[in-house]
Amino acid sequence: MGEKNFGAETKRMTSIVRKLHWDWIGRKFSMYLGFDLFLLAALCVGWICDQEYTRLGELTWDHSRMLAGFGNLKNMTYMVKDAEGRLLLELSVWPPLKIILIVIGIVAAAQLIDSFFDYMEEEKRIRRILAPINEIALKADELSKMTFSEEKYQQIEDAISSLQPNEQEILSFGDADLMGIEAAMNNLLMRMRDSYKQQARFVNDASHELRTPIAVIQGYANMLARWGSRDEKVLNESIEAIQHESDHMKYLVEQLLFLARGDSGKTRLTFQEVSLNDLVKEIYEESLMIDENHPYRFSRAEEEISVKADAALLKQAVRILVDNGAKYTHKGDEIVLSFGKNSEGLPYIQVQDTGIGMEEADVSHMFDRFYRADEARTYQGTGLGLSIAKWIVDKHGGYFEILSRTGLGTRVRIVLGKSGS
């Protein structure tokens, strides 16, 4: 039965291919026929003009022209007469026409050969295009012939209704006829649960991070309500603290929105040729202006290195690394910016500090959202900066190389190129 259905579907597909082929042959034939007729007319007109100009010394519209002897091609003649009816030129048409027809025949033969090879390629192309459609048709035909009892429909409905999005339970019908549906639905269910977990974790982390500044603002607002009107020192301290926490919340929300837009695919990157020399130099000069607490050094590469990148986003990723280095490096300690190519010839940008460093266990989690090492919790931050930097670098097909030692500092290298394993 299966072989019979397969044969019927193969015949159906062959019939569709033939119909498409006849349409293609019709268009090809019309195109070639039009070209051949145009070529025939052009050669004939060219021959006539050449003969008139050669024998009469000019081409003029005052002369009358005619063809005689239509009944026999070999006796056909072309005649030119002046305004008074005197015969100026009489030519036998057959000799040049024979040459022209031979040329047209050669062109037609070349077209035929070309059409044959095009036909074979077109058949392969049509079959390749129709293959997935034919497969879908076979599956649809197979499904249409399957019979499901009302009991099986109820079994599927009951199994789906009993599922919970936050549990690890999977569908299991125990029916061979439903195995395909069972696998597809379990796959979908796993993706939905992963998405649910990510959203739940993100909301929980964001709520936790926002709770602290909100509590601080609320505390200082209560102080204002009780003593602010009578104590100028309390008033100024409260206003300054509320403003500081509001700025922190704004920065946190902006980072959350950036990651949310990135996760939803709404952030579009504009790739262009970017000079790493110019990019790192610009960040170095900005750092000198905005950070008076640390000396900065820019280690230039010997060669000019350019990459295809979104200049604004790549600069943002490097700026995050520099700001992190400055945050966790003691006042007066040096931060070094550099760029170059690694042993594999891949371009990189590097930020190295002499700060507090990280434990090996913290390095593996440093790009997790809201993750902060114990030593870093005494410093102001959101725990999202490095997550944003990683998202940007991932979108550039790059990866990070981290070297960190507690008490010695950290070296972070953005390698732009093939992703690291």
Tell me if 89 sits within 8 A of 79, measured CB to CB.
yes
3-state secondary structure of 65: strand
More confident residue, 326 or 101: 326
84: in domain: no
82: in domain: no
Q: How far is CA 62 from CA 56, 83, 84, 208, 414, in A?
A: 13, 7, 10, 99, 83
Average pLDDT score over residue span 342-370 = 86
119 shares a domain with 43: yes
pLDDT per position as a tens digit, 4-14: 444 555 555 56
**What radius of gyration, in Å, describes the C-alpha atoms of the chain?**
40
Share of the chain above pLDDT 70, in %: 72
299 shares a domain with 373: yes
397 shares a domain with 288: yes
- Pairing, β 272-275 against β 306-309: antiparallel
Burial of 321 (0-12, 13-18, 19+ CB in 10 A): buried
420: in domain: no
- What does the alpha-carbon distance between residue 71 and residue 328 come to, in Å, rounded to a whole number? 104
Furthest CA-CA distance within the chain: 127
The pLDDT of residue 421 is 36
3-state secondary structure of 407: coil
- What does the alpha-carbon distance between residue 186 and residue 175 come to, in Å, rounded to a whole number? 15
235: in domain: yes
For the domain that residue 184 is a member of, what is the CATH number?
1.10.287.130
99: in domain: yes
Nearest to 339 by CA among 283, 406, 394, 259: 283
pLDDT per position as a tens digit, 174-218: 666 666 667 777 777 777 777 777 677 667 666 766 676 777 777
133 shares a domain with 6: yes
- What does the alpha-carbon distance between residue 42 and residue 100 come to, in Å, rounded to a whole number? 10
For the domain that residue 385 is a member of, what is the CATH number?
3.30.565.10
116 shares a domain with 224: no
More confident residue, 389 or 166: 389
The pLDDT of residue 258 is 77
374 shares a domain with 357: yes
Structural domain that includes position 182: 178-263
241: in domain: yes
Q: Kindly list the strands in the beta sheet with 64-68, ordered across the sheet, starting from the edge strand earlier in the chain.
A: 64-68, 77-81, 87-92
Render the burial of 323-344: b for 16+ CB within 10 Å, e for the rest: bbbbebbeeeeebbbbbbeeee
Tell me if 81 sits within 8 A of 56, measured CB to CB.
no
Average the pLDDT over each of 223-237, 271-285, 387-401 and give the range with the smallest value.
223-237
302 shares a domain with 204: no
329 shares a domain with 230: no
Tell me which of 263, 281, 296 is where a domain ends: 263
Instruction: Give the number of domains in the chain.
Output: 3
Nearest to 420 by CA among 396, 401, 395, 392: 401
66: in domain: no
- Pairing, β 296-299 against β 87-92: unpaired
Tell me which of 196, 228, 263 is where a domain ends: 263
Q: Name the phi and psi angles at 404, rounded to 5.
A: -140, 140
10 shares a domain with 131: yes
190 shares a domain with 139: no
331 shares a domain with 281: yes
43 shares a domain with 17: yes
281: in domain: yes
Average pLDDT score over residue span 248-265 = 73
